[in-house]
Structure 1
């Protein structure tokens, strides 16, 4: 069994997974499968001992949790590639469709997301202003603008050393500890190496802002390369950056063009990110030229071992990108919680409402449809659409369908509201070949004919329905009488105001009696 699973894992490392983290998760899931196989009675010695009943019992044990379903989906996808498990009942059991459970995660409210954005902007802006001020002072020092021996000159010397080495000169104390030489510490006003570099929390704040502007996930933020501005700045002089971003899964990249057009534009954030990380990126490029990342920051503990180097590799004193621990620590410090997963959901599902680094199907299935906030905000829109559809349907069905004739045809049968040309294809056919529809529906039937002799009675019916509307609840009126009333109004428009007025003058007692009986239901079939 171990050898069989090892072969599957090796094949997956070559073909299925793109990162060490993904293959590590798969290995843990295979290990759990192996433990389950050992505990089975009798123990499974190899993959050809796997049966449909074992797979089904495994599914019943894990189906109630998201983690269990993910592990089942991933592991069955691996082991069913073995030739011994590609036919028979076990193959069908391994091919079981595993639907996703509803995600318990929901997007932030506007207030919560605004707070996260404000905290990140405040922290990163403070760091940016510090680095910009230090960079300007360093440029003046290198231009010889300061008098040697002055405080400004000493600060410039310290910044120059820091820009070239990433650290300030240190001495070892009697206790065996190292500290920065006091005159350099004083020259930088205690900022030390932070004078030119972002620290861990400031870099995470920049990552949060990239998430709020672009909807990138943590992996994309960590791996995004430092973009280059297009050579042609255009007539307005605003730089446009070409940012390669990984799409879906695999190594497919698409270039996003981002323009710096103002203080709150995404392009301005790219400009500021390049400014805040330029000294760190320059030092990293000297050691490892191919380590081109936008998010580079100086670690406070260079000797600390980082286990997950794939997500946050180190180059000397500097770390590239972020990992989940950085987001969790930032959330604890800011009091907002780790912002990246819920924040990205908020941007993608609520603010942008479009797919980001995933397919449209994934966007709909995993982001928009299950999100409680999206559902709540969609309810009024859906209700308004349904109401509009109902109004449109009413407007369509409430139109006069009966034909307006010039005169009566002796071959047609008279009804309470019109003449009937035929009962063939009647809307409510009866067993004897007649029509069982209410006379109020005659005006909605293609077999009906309306001529001038009907107009007085229909005017009386129109007026009577108007009186009924004034005394009935709106819902009752709409359900029972509104369609008939609107068809009569359509007839009035066709007859014209003059013809309608003339018909009113010809209303007879017989017309009034028929209308009264019709509304009471006495003339219903």
Structure 2
């Protein structure tokens, strides 16, 4: 042993040093999102519910402690998990050597194997055990755990910045940031409550806030699109109206209406100023059998409404009046009271060509114009 360098030299070959222990602790912190200090105190003793049987999801239960949680809640048993077999199959490549770092459990198992000698000679049961050669002693000394103070030294040895990000955007290696990243990736509580995760860890993340805004915006846009599609008034084209003159039953089937209902719609017997109503006794907002008491503007979003070509002059006139009114109403009032009606009228008028819209403006009669004036002034609403 003396010829080979003594215990100090041989132990360096057989055991992990302080920097390697730091690297293992950083890797487990990144994989599990546990605190660096909690991982540094993990014991080698653990319980395997899977009994190490192949085909069963691998997991090791490790007893740990987080004193900041208080004496009644500091003791924890976090699961150190392997990846599912389905995912493990995707990690297999042409290399016959298995991927040692594919999961927290594999890293933990490798750590226990590499630290067995140091743990036995050091006289403790911590998973992180190593040997440190010191200048004061020819023998060196056995070490236990990992010290966060060594992170800066490990970073400097491996080309990472220790204080500020580099010009290329490389960030310093920090245990706190590794845990933050792990929680953002997992999106599940790790040694804390769900409210702490949401209010403390995720709320301060710029990436999570940006993702949340995107998700919420997409969901709101989808809901608005669905609502508009559901409440859009079907427009019965002129071709269907012309067909009804010779084939009422066929036109009714195409419009998904009863023949008599379609006939009354075409003749204007069921007009409600801007649209026609299929059944005013079956309104979604009233009890069945009771007459509809909604404003005629509400017909633009009612499932009973149908739009026909002879109503186009009224729809265009109402839309023109709304566009004129917008310049004289404050934005908040406009959005609350008139914006939805304008959007729905634009949708109805948009079904017609420009030539048809021009003809409808010319065909507007004085009684129709007075009717729109009364509608827009509110004189046609029930008080």
Which range, TM-score by smaller chain? 0.5 to 0.7
Aligned ranges 1:156-171 → 2 under 5 Å: 158=1
Q: Which residue of 1 aligns with 2:206?
A: 372
2:283 is the alignment partner of 1:457: no
Deviation at 1:252, TM superposition (A): 3.4
Secondary structure, counterpart of 2:227 in structure 1: helix
Secondary structure, counterpart of 1:318 in structure 2: strand
With over 3 angstroms needed to count, the CA separation of the structure-2 counterparts of 1:443 and 1:479, relative to structure 1, is: closer
Q: Which residue of 1 aligns with 2:381?
A: none
Which among 268, 273, 295 is matched to residue 128 of structure 2?
A: 295
Deviation at 1:465, TM superposition (A): 11
Deviation at 1:479, TM superposition (A): 6.2
> Are the aligned partners of 1:398 and 1:484 in contact in 2 as well (CA < 8 Å)?
no
Aligned ranges 1:224-235 → 2 under 5 Å: 224-226=42-44, 227=46, 231-234=51-54
Secondary structure, counterpart of 2:62 in structure 1: strand
Specify which structure has the bigger relative contact order, considering alpha-carbon pairs within 8 angstroms and separated by 6 or more residues: 2
| Number of aligned positions between the proteins | 289
> Are the aligned partners of 1:413 and 1:420 in contact in 2 as well (CA < 8 Å)?
no
Give CA deviations for 1:251-283 in whole Å, capped at 9, x if unaligned.
232444436955141133223212321211222
Secondary structure, counterpart of 2:308 in structure 1: helix
User: Once structures 1 and 2 are overlaid, which stretch shifts more, 354-363 or 258-267?
Assistant: 258-267
* TM-score when normalising by structure 2: 0.57
Which among 142, 146, 153 is matched to residue 318 of structure 1?
A: 142
Aligned ranges 1:139-218 → 2 under 5 Å: 158=1, 181=2, 183-185=3-5, 192-218=10-36
Q: Which runs of 5 or more structure 2 residues have no equivalent in the other structure?
A: 89-97, 163-171, 235-256, 286-292, 320-334, 378-383
Q: Distance in 1 between matches of 2:269 and 2:367?
A: 24
Deviation at 1:300, TM superposition (A): 2.8
With over 3 angstroms needed to count, the CA separation of the structure-2 counterparts of 1:509 and 1:207, relative to structure 1, is: closer
Q: Distance in 1 between matches of 2:366 and 2:120?
A: 95
Give CA deviations for 1:175-204 in whole Å, capped at 9, x if unaligned.
xxxxxx4x213x99x954310111111110
Secondary structure, counterpart of 2:53 in structure 1: coil
Q: Which residue of 2 aligns with 1:279?
A: 117
Q: Distance in 1 between matches of 2:14 and 2:305?
A: 89
With over 3 angstroms needed to count, the CA separation of the structure-2 counterparts of 1:395 and 1:259, relative to structure 1, is: closer
Q: Which runs of 5 or more structure 1 residues have no equivalent in the other structure?
A: 1-157, 159-180, 305-315, 428-434, 467-475, 493-499
With over 3 angstroms needed to count, the CA separation of the structure-2 counterparts of 1:389 and 1:420, relative to structure 1, is: closer
2:107 is the alignment partner of 1:269: yes
Deviation at 1:354, TM superposition (A): 1.5
Deviation at 1:443, TM superposition (A): 3.7
Secondary structure, counterpart of 2:82 in structure 1: strand
Q: Distance in 1 between matches of 2:51 and 2:277?
A: 80
With over 3 angstroms needed to count, the CA separation of the structure-2 counterparts of 1:485 and 1:191, relative to structure 1, is: farther
Aligned ranges 1:88-103 → 2 under 5 Å: none
Secondary structure, counterpart of 1:242 in structure 2: strand
Q: Distance in 1 between matches of 2:231 and 2:310?
A: 22
> Are the aligned partners of 1:440 and 1:484 in contact in 2 as well (CA < 8 Å)?
no
* TM-score when normalising by structure 1: 0.43
Q: Which residue of 1 aligns with 2:93?
A: none
Q: Distance in 2 between matches of 1:419 and 1:228?
A: 71
2:161 is the alignment partner of 1:335: yes
Which among 392, 407, 415 is matched to residue 273 of structure 2?
A: 415
Q: Distance in 2 between matches of 1:441 and 1:373?
A: 42
2:348 is the alignment partner of 1:524: no
Deviation at 1:382, TM superposition (A): 2.4
Q: Distance in 2 between matches of 1:514 and 1:419?
A: 23
With over 3 angstroms needed to count, the CA separation of the structure-2 counterparts of 1:441 and 1:457, relative to structure 1, is: farther
With over 3 angstroms needed to count, the CA separation of the structure-2 counterparts of 1:456 and 1:258, relative to structure 1, is: closer
> Are the aligned partners of 2:21 and 2:130 in contact in 1 as well (CA < 8 Å)?
yes
Q: Which residue of 2 aligns with 1:258?
A: 82
In proportion to residue count, which structure has more helix?
1
